[in-house]
Chains A and B, each alone.
Chain A
């Protein structure tokens, strides 16, 4: 069985996507650990599952064109943040906010 270390889970259909770099930079700057896993599904479904599995109760779902951030116990169809065809800044923001969800700090909102 895989050990479940305290980390934000990032579930993605493809773990070679370049977006992962930006997302993780967001989490690294905030000093929160993460864990990447390959899995099939839509971004909101992956995020929901990642949040449910994460000890820190926060998860990110990433597909080729979509990214979603979710926290545990929130309905699957209502991700906290969701972007289609995101920019680099939006990927970074998803990472930052995933970390902030764990730190209980207020989210960075789009300017």
Chain B
């Protein structure tokens, strides 16, 4: 009898599997456990997490508890992934000249043109001119309405902009109805005596004049050159319920193309590609380079900084010279990022083009022996470093019911997507690709303009629902769920995440559909792209159709929708694909740890 524990240290989780061999080598599994990895993968900091996971697994072996006689550490693949975002365009407004936002209750409908004047200065207004009045928060809706009614017939007021949320209140009290926009926080920054155009859309519609360059030209009498310049304004006002555009003769709006960095790929052939060429061109260059030796970025560009940073990170971890650390893969993804427009008055954003990049760095070896020695001296149990990660994962994956050799595994983690193909003769092909769960999180965060990365991480992980009343919610699948006790008023009308223990409200003003679209798109862009890339690399003759069946393992295989996306996509190539179920019980987790235990019998004599 010998009790063996397999330990797998991953980018984000540390997993343990305990099994016992009888004297004939018959293996029965006792338990498994998983916890957060402490420190960077492959460093002695990992020991704390390993001990926690080991403790948990031992607890689960039952009574009496079974303690392992030997610990097996996996030879972790020496790869680290990282992500960065490079914005390609930016919109700059010289002199504040635009407000476009969605106050929940503007009033009136239609367009108006006039000279900006503060309500307190109406006495200086002249007859025969049209005015748009600004109303600061000190002025109540009653006095504003009263004042506007009192000048009616003498001074022509065509529209109003309010600081407070009182557009309807003012509108209801006006004898002569005009379009009114409200909730403009930085009202004082609106320049007086400039020509401006106001538009409020009809209920249920969006504005159509100010989101059209020629519409702005019509209202503000612009010439051809000026019309060209308002293009970015029109673009950023698309989809708004109300807007103001102010004509500032000296002012100007530009869309800048930022000096984006270049990427240098050295492989079978040398390739140079500019980030602003977009994801497709970058990935074509990666493909054209063949087997990639190293990738570098232009000095002083975002991508240059990022590639340097991850090399530096690996240098610290491995303690090896920078020359032996190489970036062997990148994944580029096109995205849009809502960036605050400099010079806008109500905190408006513009969707700017951006490219998200994940990179993966590789070194010759991680200092696993150091971890093993530390563990051995702390626990007094023999610790061996054994087995190549991908081979162990394949062995573990084979415990999924319904699998046979040849078999491919797709290990989708946080930092990288790895694939391995094991043939009937036991030959193994392995690849590590940049881009996995963390890139998905980054895309979700940027595209939805979320303040917190944690929210993005949760959106990736949990399905959504809309709280329709205090007693029921509508799930994103359309299903309704009822509650006996009323929900918290905080949740009422909100979009919420269905976390296992509680519902968490999304603070940002986003619809359920918007979030679902972005989430699914991000997962597809990263995991479908990477699954195809990775499987093509390990497939016989790089022909995807010759991959027999694929078992999905790793943290991202637990995702509630990624496995289905991959099944659908790979079905096009007649490839069988599904979420693994390690040891019939563990789901897609624990493959490597399980494989380590399984491999022990045959390698026990060598004592590697």
Q: Which residues of A contact B (CB under 8 A)?
A: 25, 28-31, 71, 73-75, 78, 80-81, 100-101, 103-107, 109
Contact = CB atoms under 8 A, between A and B. Distances in A.
Given A28-B169, A29-B168, A101 B492 contact: yes
Interface string B481-505: 0000010011011100000000000
Interface in B107-163: 141
Nearest to A96: B165
Contacts, number: 49
Contacts of A109: 490
B490 A25 contact: no
A105 B468 contact: no
Contact of B165 (A29, A80, A81, A101): A29
16 contacts: A25-B166, A25-B169, A29-B166, A29-B168, A29-B169, A31-B105, A73-B486, A74-B486, A78-B486, A80-B489, A100-B492, A104-B492, A104-B493, A106-B493, A106-B494, A109-B490
Contacts of A25: 141, 166, 169
Given A30-B104, A73-B486, 15 more contacts: A28-B172, A29-B105, A31-B105, A71-B469, A73-B470, A74-B470, A100-B492, A101-B492, A103-B493, A104-B492, A104-B493, A106-B492, A107-B490, A107-B493, A109-B490
A105 to B, nearest CB: 5
A25 B486 CA distance: 27
B169 A107 contact: no
A88 B490 CA distance: 21
Nearest to B182: A29
Contact of B167 (A29, A74, A81, A103): A29
Nearest to A69: B489
B573 interface: no
Interface of B: 104-105, 141, 165-169, 172, 468-471, 486, 489-490, 492-494
B493 A105 contact: yes
Contacts of B168: 28-31
A75 B486 CA distance: 9
Contacts of B471: 73
B137 to A, nearest CB: 12
Contacts of A103: 493
B470 A71 contact: yes
Contact of B468 (A75, A81, A104): A104
Contacts of B486: 71, 73-75, 78
Contacts of A100: 492-493
A101 B489 CA distance: 9
Nearest to A74: B486
Contacts of B493: 100, 103-107
A29 B78 CA distance: 61
B360 to A, nearest CB: 41
A50 B105 CA distance: 26
Contacts of B494: 106
Nearest to A24: B169
Nearest to B104: A105
Most buried by B among A73, A100, A106, A109: A106
A104 B469 contact: yes
Contacts of A78: 486
B111 to A, nearest CB: 22
Contacts of B492: 80, 100-101, 104, 106-107
Contacts of A81: 489
Contacts of B105: 29-31
B106 to A, nearest CB: 11
A71 B490 CA distance: 14
Contacts of B166: 25, 29
B482 to A, nearest CB: 12
A78 B168 CA distance: 31
B296 to A, nearest CB: 48
Nearest to A106: B493
Most buried by A among B168, B489, B494: B489
Nearest to B469: A104
Contacts of B490: 107, 109
B97 to A, nearest CB: 28
Nearest to A80: B489
B204 to A, nearest CB: 13
B188 to A, nearest CB: 20
Contacts of A105: 104, 493
Contacts of A29: 105, 165-169
A88 to B, nearest CB: 10
A58 to B, nearest CB: 11
A81 B470 CA distance: 13
A36 B22 CA distance: 82
Contacts of A74: 470, 486
B488 to A, nearest CB: 9
A104 B474 CA distance: 13
A23 to B, nearest CB: 13
A80 B493 CA distance: 13
A25 B167 CA distance: 11
A100 B165 CA distance: 14
